[in-house]
Amino acid sequence: MSESITSLLVNSKQYSLTATAGEQLHDTFVDNRAVLLQNFYQGSALELLRHEAERLAKNATRRDFKMVETDNSVRIMNTVNGDVIDEYSSLIPLLYNDPPLCEFLSAITGERLYTVQDPGENYVLNILHQKGDTHGAHIDTYAYALITVLEAPNEGDGGCQELVPRAIEQKELDGPNVVRICPKPGDCVLLGAGDSIHRVAPLLRSSVKRMVIASSFANEKTLNQVSYSTEKLYG
């Protein structure tokens, strides 16, 4: 059997894309509804993904609005949707549909994950690159999100991922139970995005950039749903 595309690119010294390896991260995920996969991609693999994203970013659309469906939380960012990625990239769809990656992520969460058919949010490119850019507080339609970080500000410059496990009220993000993750390029973050309020904090400087591939995964409960934000944020 040929190797999977993800297995060829991932940091194999640190990660084995198996259920057994994923199970070792399950308790952390249960506690935090998030897990940071540090140095998931590195070296030439990271550069390949970054180059792919930079090429796709030429087709990005600027967004600046309040999302009514999430209590008017703000979206100020550039986005590229799954339809555009399908047109211009083969690598990102291959990674998303890679069975060993899905098996690994499923073991982390403790339930079977499914790819979604929503071309607005199956996999998207999100770019924050101006002071004040932010992906405001929300809960996803789909149960899980894998964030692949290609560029990121230094800690202290904003752009960190913030999440409150199993909370749904935005005010909780200003309380004491926030899990704050400040990933570096090459890291991935797996989020329990469908049951825990989360956001990307605003950038504090214009000289920094946050560029990520955000991939949605469904569980049985959310498999047949369609995201409320597809048209407004990624249409």
CATH number of the domain residue 13 falls in: 2.60.120.620
Burial (CB < 10 A; 0-12, 13-18, 19+), residue 22, is: buried
179 CB burial (10 A radius; 0-12, 13-18, 19+): middle
- Residue 95 structural domain: 5-225
**Distance (Å, whole) CA 183 – CA 178:** 16
Q: How many domains does the chain have?
A: 1
Give the pLDDT score at 68: 97
Residue 126 DSSP code: E
Global pTM value: 0.97
Q: What is the reported pLDDT for 131?
A: 98
Is residue 151 one of the residues assigned to a domain? yes
Give domain status of residue 235, yes or no.
Answer: no
For 35-44, how does the pLDDT look when each residue is reduced to its tens digit (9 = 90+)? 999 999 999 9
Please provide the average confidence, as pLDDT, over all residues in the chain. 96
Report the greatest alpha carbon distance in the chain: 50
Q: Which of 45-54, 95-104, 117-126, 189-198 has the lowest mean pLDDT?
A: 117-126
For residue 230, tell me if it sits in a domain.
no
In a domain, 32, yes or no: yes
Residue 231 lies inside a defined structural domain of this protein: no
Domain presence at residue 234: no
Q: How many residues does the chain have?
A: 235
pLDDT band at 1 (very low <50, low <70, confident <90, very high): very low
Residue 223: band (very low, low, confident or very high) from pLDDT cuts 50, 70, 90: very high
Is beta strand 134-138 parallel, antiparallel or unpaired with respect to 123-128? unpaired
Q: Is residue 26 part of a domain?
A: yes
- 16 in any annotated domain: yes
Q: What is the mean pLDDT of residues 16-44?
A: 97
Q: At which residue do the structure tokens 């640190």 appear?
A: 14
